[in-house]
Structure 1
Amino acid sequence: MSSPNESRPHEEQPSVVIRDRRRIDPETLQPREPDEETPEREGGEHVLGTPDRAGALEAQLAERTAELRRVEAEYENYRKQVQHDQAAISEIATAKVLDSLLPVLDAIDRARGLGEVNGSLWAVAEALEERLADLGLERVGTAGEPFDPARHEAVGHQVSDDVDTPVCTAVVRPGYQVGTRLLRPAQVSVTEPPDQAPPAATAPDS
Structure 2
Amino acid sequence: MNISPAHQPPARPRTFRHQRILRIQLDAYDRAVEVLADTVRQRNWPITATIGIANGGLAPARGISELLHVPSFHVDAKHNPTDATYTEATGTVTYDLSPLTTRPARRSLGGTVLVVDDICGTGATFATLLPELGVHLGPDVALRTVALCRNAGSVFDPDLWIWTVDDWVWFPWEPTLAAETTIEDLPIPSRVRTA
TM-score where L is the length of structure 1: 0.20
TM-score where L is the length of structure 2: 0.20
Question: Larger relative CO (CA 8 A, sep 6+): 1 or 2?
Answer: 2
Q: Which structure features the higher share of helix residues?
A: 1
